[in-house]
Structure 1
Amino acid sequence: MSFSVDVLAKIAIDLQSDIGHPDRFARLITTLREVLGCDASALLRYEAHQFIPLAIDGLAKDVLGRRFTLAGHPRLEAIARAGDVVRFPADSALPDPYDGLIPGHESLKVHACLGLPLFAGQNLIGALTLDGMSADQFDSFSDEELRLIAALVSGALNNALLIARLESQNVLPVTSISYSEPAAQEIIGLSDRMLQLKKEIEIVAASDLNVLISGETGTGKELVAKAIHEGSPRAANPLVYLNCAALPESVAESELFGHVKGAFTGAISNRSGKFETADNGTLFLDEIGELSLALQAKLLRVLQYGDIQRVGDDRSLRVNVRVLAATNRDLREEVLTGRFRADLFHRLSVFPLSVPPLRERGDDVLLLAGYFCEQCRLRFSLSQVVLSPGARARLLAYGWPGNVRELEHAIHRAVVLARATRAGNEVVLEPHHFQLSDESGVADIKLAVLSEPQNLREATEAFQREAIARALAANQQTWSAAARALEMDVANLHRLAKRLGMKP
């Protein structure tokens, strides 16, 4: 096959037409699939040593949530390194990142595969992948023709990324290939609620306003705080985290404001508090609703006047700290009942943000599931972790009272179960791997412990996560009450939850 000038002109016009529209990437990939006649295609952005899907066609929805690290995907690494068209033979020994992810062909391996690296100057900005079920599907395209396509797509992608950066007023780094650590966990979601939240984060991040982040437990409020800090002029300075629920009343004031030597028994030296540590940066106060009224009054003074006093010290210290606070409580109701100061509430909620529960985010469930599947694949050194159509339907139908955190644990538990009952290095998650009712979660973990003794640590940790999550759910997400129910010291419970990844 040979592209005529008219066909190339149409491709160029379609790619550049209305490139600022929100669905620009989806339209771009649809045009390419029509012209090239492939069974599946993906447009990927390269950032922080990984490929991030921008648009897909012919692939499972959860692919949009997956993050493909170069180190974890040899074919994508080959595309990134090549600098030119890459054709993978049908019998290539390199695992295909999309095996099991083409609806209707879950049990078949992808046969024909092309990769086109996309550049802006000398910088890699993305890749276009084309897949077909027939081994000779792309033989009719010459390398010269595919290079023309890559050049057109590179220009369109570069322009679209520039527009996106201008819209967000946030210049994303464009880096060359290297192999340091990938980017930290990100906010994943394309639902209307999440797109609106991301827009609000971009707006408030550039300011210096205090922000109150509200949302149910497990929705990702700490990720919102991190995104605000990283998008702010304070990003080069520290983001300091403090969980107010984990503060015993006897040391809470010292944790916040510091103390001087001899201020109380055990104060053997001067110590800086979180406010001093966060000077010129950001202080994230998680579970702010758990602070005592006495500490609320002292926090209000800092927000009003910008100075603190260490415990046992008469002198004041000036600090320049932006405060982000998070809560799973209805603080307006707490104000009405007298459990939270109205003046502090108004100081904190200059720009309130609400993180939606997972049950209100539609297909974001699948994107997040794909993200966690890919994390588990890397963690357990598996060649493949995919969701069956039935599993996807089950995840979409469930209400997720524990939100994103519950979904993460459910995917992790399902992978452990699937590995215990299936030989080989490929895991397909089926509906029966997701026992999501209250009565079945512990049974799943017991089965994992019994079935997979070589992974006893992982199964034990999953059991502990389940027990803690249940105790929290039964006690209105109050850590102190959950600790009593579990017959644990609350400080030990916080430490265990942090080690298990249930808290930052």
Structure 2
Amino acid sequence: MSVEMTTSGGPDLPSEGERFGALLKAVRELVRCDAVALLRLEDGMLRAVAVDGLSDEALGRRFAVAAHPRFARLLESPAGVRFPPDCDLPDPYDGLVSGQPEILPVHDCMGAPLRLRGDTWGLLTLDALEPSAFDAVGPARMEALVRLVESGIEAAHAARDMARRTAQEQVLAEAWQSGRAAVRELVGTSAAMQQLRREIDTVGASDLTVLLLGETGVGKDLVAQRLHACSRRRSQPLVQVNCAALPETLADSELFGHRRGAFTGAIQDRTGKFELADGGTLFLDEVGELPLGVQAKLLRVLQGGELQRPGSDRTLRVDVRVIAATNRDLPAAIAQGRFRADLYHRLSVYPLVVPPLRARGRDVLALAGGFLEENQHRLGARNLRLSPAARTALLAHSWPGNVRELEHTISRAALRAYREHAPRARWVAIEPRHLLLEEAPLQPSPVDVPASAAASEAPATTLREATEAFQREWLAACVARHGGNLSRAAAQAGMDRSNFHRLLRKLGIAAQPPA
């Protein structure tokens, strides 16, 4: 199995990832091994750009060199290292070899640094489950492999640059050549994510206003970051505003600033987010939550690039590219009089739909791998690994909370699994019981259920009605028990506050307990 994470190289040319994948297949034809990987070194982190024989989970991991002594040894070596089978240094690939019915350790491991134009580009690693697999690979053969891969990488880079120069505007080609913008990765190789990357590359170099659409937790903020990094404004600030968190009385000041004395409490001048983003990009998250009065001022800025600070007669001109995001149905909000139609059309010059996690197939494993790597360092665990059964469970889940739900699920599972294992275990296996995906999200402990809950409810006609009746009873008691404090009640329920509040409204439960 060969999997790559990269952007397309054009409609008629193989992508950079496809070229890397072909390189790894050639390596496996020359050397008998169970897995081979190509790792790119970036700011002290190693990122898998292509793997052959490793689980999809490996694609989502970012390996900190300082936390992985084997990788550090390989990068420091002049021509590569083969580790003895009894080496006590933890192997980053233990349990990640694909196609295995259980988590298995790697017994033969070797690799070498890759250098392009005198600089260290990354690593080539080869792994096998048999201790003697690499006995026949001497220094000369290893050097030949390294030269083959380095030549292939250089050719892939050259083809990539040529494709981008002919297919995109000059500013985008220059942005690629500089390569200085540090952007979080959009992990995944599914068809939905490949399409999203193509859309981002299409609109990224322009100054068009983009409206990101998608469910809560799909990663619209990461898409905004990548759009900014692809633009000619990448050296200027990306300013983010969570419109849902702005109180109506302060939203005007937050976006456009104010002059001292403009209102009670305005004791000094304030620069608004539009001015801070001048020359760069302003990301308006949850734009559907803006008050109507602020929407009118936002429309003026989008139309002419002009704004006025509250309390000032002076008109300011700003050069800002706006990216907005929402999980709301804005046409429905327009019909209800809660959103301006003219603003909607200004924002949706280029609408971009971010796919939900359930539409991304095996991307869930790559994402889980990245979250496990983060938790591994946070907990001090040696190796956190998904068991085959856990991978199956993750793929079967519908993920209504999308990537954010997956991140929280993996964090909780990592903690549960780590506590079960000895601190010095070679690896920590995440099993389905640690994920708790089949449990009801609001399952209370017996002491939290009112004694009359079961008896007071009349038998419901369907399972759904019975479930809602139980949730209504338990949630009402939970809110009352915390004196109407929704944050504490949501924490006990294991939900974030906005989703908790939404569920209360759906079930017709008052936010405040009865007097």
TM-score normalised by structure 1 residue count: 0.82
The 3 A distance-change label for structure 1 pair 358 and 301 is same
Q: Comparing 63-72 with 155-164, which one deviates more in the overlay? A: 155-164
State the Cα distance separating 1:276 from its structure 2 match: 1.0
2:223 aligned with 1:224, yes or no? yes
2:119 aligned with 1:123, yes or no? yes
Q: How does 1:409-448 map to 2 (within 5 A)?
A: 409-425=408-424, 426-437=427-438, 439-440=440-441
Q: Comparing 42-51 with 409-418, which one deviates more in the overlay? A: 42-51
**Secondary structure of 1:23 counterpart:** helix
In the alignment, the residues of structure 2 paired with residue 414 and residue 431 of structure 1 have an alpha-carbon distance, to the nearest angstrom, of 9
Specify the alignment match of 1:62 in structure 2: 57
In the alignment, the residues of structure 2 paired with residue 19 and residue 305 of structure 1 have an alpha-carbon distance, to the nearest angstrom, of 42
State the Cα distance separating 1:237 from its structure 2 match: 1.4
8 A contact 1:216–1:357 mirrored in 2: yes
8 A contact 1:123–1:174 mirrored in 2: no
Tell me which of 59, 67, 92 is aligned to 1:72. Answer: 67
The 3 A distance-change label for structure 1 pair 185 and 32 is same
The 3 A distance-change label for structure 1 pair 485 and 125 is farther
The letter of the residue matching 1:199 is R
State the Cα distance separating 1:34 from its structure 2 match: 2.5
State the Cα distance separating 1:260 from its structure 2 match: 0.8
Specify the alignment match of 1:87 in structure 2: 82
**Secondary structure of 1:171 counterpart:** helix
8 A contact 2:102–2:388 mirrored in 1: no
Per-residue Cα deviation, 1:294-347 (whole angstroms, up to 9, x for no partner): 111110011111111111111111111111100001222222333211111111
Specify the alignment match of 1:109 in structure 2: 105
8 A contact 1:331–1:345 mirrored in 2: yes
**Secondary structure of 1:262 counterpart:** coil
State the Cα distance separating 1:61 from its structure 2 match: 1.7
Q: Provide the aligned length of Structure 1 versus Structure 2.
A: 448
**Secondary structure of 2:234 counterpart:** coil
Specify the alignment match of 1:151 in structure 2: 147
State the Cα distance separating 1:121 from its structure 2 match: 1.8
Q: How does 1:386-425 map to 2 (within 5 A)?
A: 386-425=385-424
State the Cα distance separating 1:107 from its structure 2 match: 4.4
The letter of the residue matching 2:334 is V
Specify the alignment match of 1:3 in structure 2: none
Per-residue Cα deviation, 1:171-194 (whole angstroms, up to 9, x for no partner): 26689xxxxxx9663211111111
2:30 aligned with 1:29, yes or no? no
Specify the alignment match of 1:350 in structure 2: 349
The 3 A distance-change label for structure 1 pair 482 and 258 is farther
Specify the alignment match of 1:268 in structure 2: 267
The letter of the residue matching 2:58 is V
The 3 A distance-change label for structure 1 pair 125 and 96 is same
8 A contact 2:442–2:493 mirrored in 1: no
Per-residue Cα deviation, 1:184-227 (whole angstroms, up to 9, x for no partner): 63211111111111121122121111111111000000111111
In the alignment, the residues of structure 2 paired with residue 100 and residue 233 of structure 1 have an alpha-carbon distance, to the nearest angstrom, of 43
**Secondary structure of 1:339 counterpart:** coil
The 3 A distance-change label for structure 1 pair 464 and 97 is farther
Identity of aligned residues (%): 48
In the alignment, the residues of structure 1 paired with residue 222 and residue 201 of structure 2 have an alpha-carbon distance, to the nearest angstrom, of 13
Tell me which of 466, 472, 476 is aligned to 2:498. Answer: 472
In the alignment, the residues of structure 1 paired with residue 334 and residue 440 of structure 2 have an alpha-carbon distance, to the nearest angstrom, of 36
Per-residue Cα deviation, 1:458-501 (whole angstroms, up to 9, x for no partner): xxx9997684735433545999x9998499xxxxxxxxxxxxxx
The 3 A distance-change label for structure 1 pair 58 and 466 is farther
> What is the root-mean-square deviation in Å for CA atoms of aligned residues?
2.9
The letter of the residue matching 1:208 is D
The letter of the residue matching 1:343 is D
Q: Comparing 117-126 with 268-277, which one deviates more in the overlay? A: 117-126
Specify the alignment match of 2:458 in structure 1: none
Specify the alignment match of 1:500 in structure 2: none
8 A contact 2:17–2:49 mirrored in 1: no
Specify the alignment match of 1:15 in structure 2: none
Per-residue Cα deviation, 1:267-298 (whole angstroms, up to 9, x for no partner): 11111111111111111111000011111111
The 3 A distance-change label for structure 1 pair 464 and 382 is farther
Specify the alignment match of 2:251 in structure 1: 252
The 3 A distance-change label for structure 1 pair 347 and 19 is closer
**Secondary structure of 1:59 counterpart:** coil
Specify the alignment match of 1:454 in structure 2: none
State the Cα distance separating 1:261 from its structure 2 match: 1.0
The letter of the residue matching 1:129 is T
**Secondary structure of 1:320 counterpart:** coil
In the alignment, the residues of structure 2 paired with residue 414 and residue 207 of structure 1 have an alpha-carbon distance, to the nearest angstrom, of 42
In the alignment, the residues of structure 2 paired with residue 45 and residue 95 of structure 1 have an alpha-carbon distance, to the nearest angstrom, of 20
In the alignment, the residues of structure 1 paired with residue 365 and residue 488 of structure 2 have an alpha-carbon distance, to the nearest angstrom, of 21
**Secondary structure of 1:325 counterpart:** strand
State the Cα distance separating 1:139 from its structure 2 match: 1.6
Q: Comparing 287-296 with 165-174, which one deviates more in the overlay? A: 165-174
Specify the alignment match of 1:301 in structure 2: 300
Per-residue Cα deviation, 1:397-447 (whole angstroms, up to 9, x for no partner): 000000000000000000111122222243210011111246256669x9x
8 A contact 2:96–2:103 mirrored in 1: no
Tell me which of 92, 117, 127 is aligned to 1:97. Answer: 92
The letter of the residue matching 1:215 is G
Specify the alignment match of 1:360 in structure 2: 359
8 A contact 1:471–1:482 mirrored in 2: no
**Secondary structure of 2:105 counterpart:** coil
State the Cα distance separating 1:133 from its structure 2 match: 2.0
**Secondary structure of 1:226 counterpart:** helix
In the alignment, the residues of structure 1 paired with residue 214 and residue 57 of structure 2 have an alpha-carbon distance, to the nearest angstrom, of 24
State the Cα distance separating 1:31 from its structure 2 match: 2.4
Structure 1 residues not aligned, in runs of 5+: 1-17, 176-181, 447-460, 488-504
The 3 A distance-change label for structure 1 pair 462 and 266 is closer
In the alignment, the residues of structure 1 paired with residue 295 and residue 126 of structure 2 have an alpha-carbon distance, to the nearest angstrom, of 57
2:201 aligned with 1:202, yes or no? yes
Specify the alignment match of 1:179 in structure 2: none
Per-residue Cα deviation, 1:134-179 (whole angstroms, up to 9, x for no partner): 222212122011101110111102221333344453426689xxxx
In the alignment, the residues of structure 2 paired with residue 152 and residue 465 of structure 1 have an alpha-carbon distance, to the nearest angstrom, of 55
**Secondary structure of 1:97 counterpart:** coil
TM-score normalised by structure 2 residue count: 0.81
**Secondary structure of 1:43 counterpart:** strand
In the alignment, the residues of structure 2 paired with residue 465 and residue 80 of structure 1 have an alpha-carbon distance, to the nearest angstrom, of 45
8 A contact 1:475–1:482 mirrored in 2: no
